[in-house]
Amino acid sequence: MSIKTLPSRPHNLFPLWLSLALALLWLIIWDLDVAFQDLVYGIADMGEYLSRYGAPNLSNMSSYLHLMIQTLVTAFWGTTLAFIMAATIAPYAARQLTPNPFIYRIARELLNFMRAMPDLLLALIFVSSMGLGPLPGVLALAVHTAGFLGKFFAENMERVPAGKYEALSAVGAGFTQKIVFAAWPSMLRESVGNVLYIFDRNVRMAAVLGLVGAGGIGLELHDALRLFKYNQASALIIIILLTIIVIDNLSSWIRKVLN
């Protein structure tokens, strides 16, 4: 169809939406009674408080390192279990692979549910039911991050070109064979990135999980803070920080090697 006159220009509603959003933001600030001058007074107090951490006490280093390793192990096993769960559920939550739409819905909702349960809450539940120690921490991390990993994997699987799955269907391959020969090799790079990100996140989270009694360095930090032992606390924070920096660099190095 061809026409001779320029059609009227489509309306651009962006300015309207922007002003509405800004108005809403202002309304929220006004409603919450946020006072910016408090922030200015607070800065001086915060400076005084932070100065108490000035002299880290490294005399307990070997026990701290032991706790840090326990934290790392917690994160590692949490990630491994999460990987196994996610890899099992993800194909059912990927449109091209799922056996039927009903199972697809269930798998998606299961992943949503796991993601929606905060890991601190899960850790509390597992600590209450299984007792103190790193195991409830591992399970809490595993369940929560399996939700994330499963969603990432399912989406990676959906991004694989349909033809790759069709080629497998055309040779008479079954469900598992499609996953092993079409999905995983095609999405390997993204998925390794996802797993490293989740591990990185789990190390940070495992350091906090100690607060609810799920083992690791978090409990020690919690105690030190509660007893106002700022020098011990600062030593612990330094160890956690260094570990996270090392893990972060290590995972970006692995990603670079894989590419």
From residue 24, how far is each of 29, 31, 33, 54, 187 by CA, in Å? 9, 10, 14, 42, 41
In the complex, what is the shortest distance from the CB of residue 160 to other proteins, in angstroms, rounded to a whole number? Answer: 10
Cβ within 8 Å of residue 139, ≥6 positions away: 78, 81, 122, 126, 130
Question: Which residue in 163, 241, 245, 250 binds other proteins (CB under 8 A)?
Answer: 163
In the complex, what is the shortest distance from the CB of residue 171 to other proteins, in angstroms, rounded to a whole number? Answer: 5
In the complex, what is the shortest distance from the CB of residue 2 to other proteins, in angstroms, rounded to a whole number? Answer: 13
Interface of this chain with other proteins, residues 171 to 210, rule: CB under 8 A: 171-177, 180-182, 185-186, 188
Interatomic CA distance for residues 138 and 81, integer angstroms: 8
Question: Closer to other proteins at the Cβ: 128 or 169?
Answer: 169
From residue 37, how far is each of 28, 32, 114 by CA, in Å? 18, 15, 41
Question: Closer to other proteins at the Cβ: 25 or 188?
Answer: 188
Question: Alpha helices of the chain — where are they, by DSSP H?
Answer: 14-32, 36-51, 61-89, 101-116, 119-130, 134-159, 162-170, 175-178, 184-209, 217-226, 230-258
In the complex, what is the shortest distance from the CB of residue 192 to other proteins, in angstroms, rounded to a whole number? Answer: 12
99 binds other proteins (CB under 8 A): no
# binding residues, other proteins (CB under 8 A)? 21
Interface of this chain with other proteins, residues 122 to 161, rule: CB under 8 A: 161
Question: Closer to other proteins at the Cβ: 109 or 166?
Answer: 166
Where b means 16+ CB within 10 Å and e means fewer, 21-58 reads eeeeeeeeeeeeeeeeeeeeeeeeeeeeeeeeeeeeee
Question: Closer to other proteins at the Cβ: 57 or 186?
Answer: 186
Question: Which residue in 170, 226, 228, 259 binds other proteins (CB under 8 A)?
Answer: 170
Its sign, for the CA torsion 207, 212, 215, 218, is: positive
Contact 126, 109 (CB under 8 A): no
In the complex, what is the shortest distance from the CB of residue 163 to other proteins, in angstroms, rounded to a whole number? Answer: 4
Question: Which residue in 123, 149, 168, 214 binds other proteins (CB under 8 A)?
Answer: 168
Interatomic CA distance for residues 81 and 140, integer angstroms: 10
In the complex, what is the shortest distance from the CB of residue 187 to other proteins, in angstroms, rounded to a whole number? Answer: 9
In the complex, what is the shortest distance from the CB of residue 167 to other proteins, in angstroms, rounded to a whole number? Answer: 4
Question: Which residue in 25, 51, 61, 166 binds other proteins (CB under 8 A)?
Answer: 166
Give the binding site for other proteins (CB under 8 A). 161, 163-164, 166-177, 180-182, 185-186, 188
